[in-house]
Structure 1
């Protein structure tokens, strides 16, 4: 017994030392931030343990442990807090409701398997102040203080029982296996749904609306599977820690904290199938003072994403998301490695992304929004990023983003037609970035009424199959950078843009250096000391040679 106690003590010392080292490194990154990054408060818990087995929990993978887990959490919280321990084994459960001052700790070898029985997921209010009802998330908490998910165990959200799947995202073998598992197909045979009820959910909700019925916790039940929940949802919470755990196979987004302060994610693994519809990894929404450190994300949509909505429907010089440090993370698969948007109307600033790797994502750095959901996005700093095998653009700024759910088309997204809540992207600083094997190097598309501006790229080197495009932009600065392409020219296609500076920039291609200029282009300055930098330029529309100035 003495040896066992000694061994456990040593293990705890090792784990505590690892955690302490992590927080020391986070502090070093915080000190390096190019803005005044506040110290993020990490929750501290009472030294008391509550084992769910003592509350009737059974790790047989068959018994439903919803009551046992939630009872342990509630008693722990009411007793002043501590750790609720999930021991090794498979624990089947319905939704888990977190409480203040509770650290839900999964031991190594512990699997929380959320049930595929959707009747176990009731409709609850979206937040304590909301009259909107949503399907209860597998893990959720409202208005909490001091809460954590820790340990080396796994949460599995049974996402395959909720999500539609597009045929275009599957191999032939995967598609055949999916059809053999059951479910139903859309009329065009291109979308698999887990049930008829799921496929009919959208039409059912439209019928409710046509009848003038307000959706509530009862009349939405037939659309429950269609209205699949976020996996881990927190609303209006503070002092949050997510450390070392694996959160996987979500019905929709994996982790979605909304209006939270003081959030630390360290050493976590956030995983969704790469074909998962709306399968975002980490979506930080309207939060302040956030650290995402040394974590792994692989998912079916945006990987590490910043979102910000306004509270009153109008963007009035607000910054509902600010002070975010994202350091030393790795992303494999996802629509974007680091992402901003699409809803940005609440404004955001002071985001520092550093020492991250993106491998195999659709886009590397993805900044997106559109009229109808745009706001002021500024003071964004991105450095020391390594990317490879990027399917589309290495770096993308797009103000014409359209949300296209399963079964919809771009034409269904009415927000692209609005003329209010205009996105304003400016004061971006991207430096020390290397990209190997991207589909396209660069994409920047602003609005005629609001150009993208004040974008600085320093020591950014991109090797891609194809070049890029800049339109409706001004004050774009490339310094000590290069774009090298292997396919057809041009390296960069520029139109409706002005004040584009290239200082010591290499236009590399298999043929020759090349720019293509379109309408309304002016004040292109090339500071290379090499006249060959503009040896081959194509002028279109009203573009003329006077648009370019070459300086030594």
Structure 2
């Protein structure tokens, strides 16, 4: 009996610690959009962690900060009218070991960072605003200056922070929050399991200054992810599946597969693509996107086939889709920054078991399926579809593609090589 009482006491103590709230207003932190308060906000996070955990509460108002690092058993909640605003000076984001573009390397911290914080959550209804305009302008100016001399720049040459990086964490939740104007990727999850992103509004602009490479959600070596009831419109991929790149990426321990992803009841505004596999993805499997609305002019599914990386994309289902899009599928070679790094390997992609079903959309074109010469494709099915488009032909060079009850402009779909 005494052991049971002690156990109940310890559970209660743990619950109370995790339920503790740390409202910034109670720690002398001011709602001031011009005052950097990184150190004072971080002290609140550290205090909560030292006392066994708790929720950092951002009250109504705008709070300007650089990179914040959440610790074990800490969480973040933004009240109605609260804005956590990122500094637009890269000096406020430490240059530390990180993960970028499918490789482990040093890079700048994100605005919100959580490393090995199980049960970490970000909840609203407030806003996290990356304040990315200065970073975007610098990026475009740098790219334009190099193009004038016949060179290309990479995404990493202009220093800019992601909005959120969650690394090595399980049972993660991002709910009922608005994510705006990231300097770089918006939500990057690396080596995370059991993730729920729900009722979240993610956006970055196309004009007057485009927000480059502001992917909505990047899943990088993650398992068991649900993305539900979200709105995403960004100036890059809405949801990007990642995991590594390069001729040896598939054997490096820091890389890996993305699997068991469910995307449902979401609305997708303009982006480069709704669901992209690549350009840093070695293995993606068991992905379902269903009951979603398209309000864009981009591909629903975009497969970027890297000739310098072994890739497997399998068991993907896209179903119950309505609205307006650019194309149903885009499967093409991806040659940006091709690099075999001196390897004599001949990487190729494997695409198999992909189904499009119950789709009724207006599109710019039906699509194209034309990977690299060594890529292998099998068991791709289009069924029960109604598509209205000015470009009604599916350009496809592969044999194992099945068409079942697919009507385009009122006539059966035509495939051409």
TM-score range, shorter chain: 0.7 to 0.9
RMSD over aligned Cα atoms: 3.2
Q: Which has the higher contact order (CA 8 A, sep 6+)?
A: 2
Which of 251, 258, 282 is matched with 2:217 structurally?
282
Which of 331, 334, 339 is matched with 1:401 structurally?
334
Aligned to 1:186: 144
- TM-score, normalised with respect to structure 1: 0.65
Shift of 1:157: 0.7
Aligned to 2:248: 313
* Structure with higher strand content: 2
SS at the partner of 1:325? Answer: strand
Which of 58, 75, 79 is matched with 2:30 structurally?
58
Shift of 1:420: 3.1
Alignment of 1:239-388 (within 5 A): 239-274=171-206, 275-309=210-244, 313-315=248-250, 320-345=257-282, 347-388=283-324
1:482 aligns with 2:416: no
* Structure with higher helix content: 1
Shift of 1:424: 0.9
Counterparts of 1:117 and 1:478 in 2: how far apart (Å)? 53
Q: Is the 8 A contact 1:451 1:472 kept in 2?
A: no
Counterparts of 2:200 and 2:146 in 1: how far apart (Å)? 39
- Compared CA separation, residues 368 and 185, structure 1 to 2 (3 A): closer
Aligned to 1:119: 91
| Further displaced range: 89-98 or 358-367 | 358-367
Counterparts of 1:117 and 1:465 in 2: how far apart (Å)? 46
What whole-Å deviation, never above 9, does each CA across 1:442-466 have from its counterpart, x for those lacking one?
A: 2111333233221011112211111
List gaps (5 residues or longer) in structure 1. Answer: 1-42, 168-182, 192-199, 204-222, 404-411, 486-504, 508-513, 519-552
What whole-Å deviation, never above 9, does each CA across 1:268-305 have from its counterpart, x for those lacking one?
A: 11111133211211111110011101011010011022
SS at the partner of 1:77? Answer: helix
Which of 462, 470, 473 is matched with 2:398 structurally?
473
Aligned length, in residue pairs: 393
SS at the partner of 1:383? Answer: strand
Alignment of 1:494-513 (within 5 A): 506-507=412-413
- Compared CA separation, residues 432 and 185, structure 1 to 2 (3 A): closer
Which of 84, 92, 97 is matched with 2:64 structurally?
92
Counterparts of 1:418 and 1:434 in 2: how far apart (Å)? 45
Counterparts of 1:185 and 1:461 in 2: how far apart (Å)? 41
Shift of 1:414: 4.0
What whole-Å deviation, never above 9, does each CA across 1:239-291 have from its counterpart, x for those lacking one?
A: 11100111110111100111111111010111111332112111111100111
1:447 aligns with 2:372: yes
What whole-Å deviation, never above 9, does each CA across 1:378-428 have from its counterpart, x for those lacking one?
A: 11111111130x34x232222x0233xxxxxxxx54469986332111111
Counterparts of 1:337 and 1:55 in 2: how far apart (Å)? 42
1:158 aligns with 2:131: yes
Q: Is the 8 A contact 2:244 2:280 kept in 1?
A: yes
Aligned to 2:45: 73
List gaps (5 residues or longer) in structure 2. Answer: 1-14
1:426 aligns with 2:370: no
What whole-Å deviation, never above 9, does each CA across 1:122-161 have from its counterpart, x for those lacking one?
A: 211116xx98321121111222212111011111111111
